[in-house]
A and B are shown apart, each in its own frame.
Chain A
Amino acid sequence: MSGAILVVTEHLGGQFTDATFELLALANGLATSTGAEVEAALVGADVAGMTTQLGAAGRVLLIEDPALESFNPHGHACVVAGLVADREPGIVLVPYTSTGMDMASHIASRSDLPLVSYCQSIDASAGLAATCQLYAGKIEADVSVDGDRAVFAVLSGAAAAADGRRDGSPTVESVTVEVPGGTSFTGQVEPEAGDVDITVQDVLLVVGRGIESEDNIEEVAELAEALGGAVAASRPVVDQGWLPKTRQVGKSGLTVKPKVYLALGVSGAPEHVEGMRDSSTIIAVNTDPQAPIFGVAHHGWVGDLFDLVPELADLLEGS
Chain B
Amino acid sequence: MDIAVLLRAVPDPVEELELNDDETDLDRDYLGYVLNEFDDHALEEALLLKEDTGGSVTAYAIGTSDEVEQILVTAIAKGADAAVKLGDDLGVLDAHAQSEIFAAALGERSHQAILCGVQASDEIDGQVAMLLSARLGHPHVSVVVATSVTDAGLSVTKEYWAGITATYDVRLPAVLGIQAARQAPRYVAVSRIRQAQDSGALSEVDTVAPASSSGVTITAIRIPESGAGAEMISGDETAAAEQIVALLQAAGVGGAP
Contact = CB atoms under 8 A, between A and B. Distances in A.
A48 interface: no
Contacts of B219: 129, 142-144
B226 A227 contact: no
B166 A115 contact: no
Contacts of A259: 251-253
B162 A296 contact: no
Interface string A88-123: 000000000111011011101110011111100000
A78 B96 CA distance: 19
B244 A312 contact: yes
Interface stretch (A29-37, A51-59, A239-247): A239-247
A226 B131 CA distance: 48
Contacts of A248: 163
Interface stretch (A157-165, A166-174, A179-187): A179-187
Given A108-B126, A145-B215, A316-B255, A139 B229 contact: no
A304 interface: yes
A295 B253 contact: no
B125 interface: yes
A12 interface: yes
A192 to B, nearest CB: 8
Contacts of B41: 239
Q: How large is the interface on B (under 10, 10 to 19, 20 to 34, 35 or more residues)?
A: 35 or more
B224 A295 contact: yes
B229 to A, nearest CB: 7
A303 interface: yes
B14 interface: yes
Interface stretch (B136-144, B188-196, B198-206): B136-144
A47 interface: no
Given A118-B124, A141-B124, A296-B229, A288 B16 contact: yes
B121 A134 contact: yes
Interface in A265-319: 267, 280-281, 283-285, 288-292, 294-304, 307-308, 311-312, 314-316, 319
B130 A301 contact: no
In this complex, which of A143, A246, A288 has the most chain B Cβ atoms within 10 angstroms of its Cβ?
A143
A44 interface: no
B131 A105 contact: yes
Given A136-B121, A143-B218, A246-B163, A109 B14 contact: no
A299 B161 contact: no
A109 B176 CA distance: 17
Interface residues of A, number: 108
Given A110-B134, A259-B253, A308-B241, A117 B233 contact: no
A48 B37 CA distance: 41
Interface stretch (B60-68, B74-82, B167-175): B167-175
A106 B184 CA distance: 30
B167 A186 contact: yes
Nearest to B174: A182
Interface stretch (B50-58, B83-91, B105-113, B152-160): B152-160
B130 A146 contact: no
A114 B127 CA distance: 12
Contacts of B169: 183-184, 186
Contact of A101 (B127, B184, B224, B231): B127
B244 A117 contact: no
A202 B253 contact: yes
Contact of A98 (B11, B158, B170): B158
Task: Kindly name the residue among B135, B224, B242 whose own CB sees the greatest number of chain A CB atoms within 10 A.
Answer: B224
A146 B251 contact: no
Nearest to A311: B241
Interface in B202-255: 213-233, 236-238, 240-245, 247-248, 251-255
Contact of B119 (A101, A109, A188, A302): A101
Closest 5 CB pairs of A and B: A182-B139, A191-B163, A114-B215, A109-B134, A311-B241
Interface of B: 11, 13-14, 16-17, 26, 37, 41, 95, 118-119, 121-127, 130-131, 133-135, 138-143, 155, 157-171, 174, 177, 179-180, 183-184, 213-233, 236-238, 240-245, 247-248, 251-256
29 contacts: A73-B158, A101-B177, A106-B133, A109-B135, A115-B125, A118-B124, A135-B13, A136-B13, A136-B121, A138-B224, A141-B218, A141-B221, A142-B219, A143-B217, A143-B218, A144-B216, A147-B215, A182-B170, A184-B168, A246-B163, A267-B14, A285-B240, A295-B226, A295-B228, A299-B232, A301-B232, A315-B241, A319-B245, A319-B255
Given A182-B171, A191-B163, 15 more contacts: A73-B140, A104-B130, A110-B134, A116-B125, A117-B127, A134-B124, A145-B216, A188-B167, A203-B253, A255-B162, A259-B252, A299-B243, A299-B247, A303-B237, A315-B245
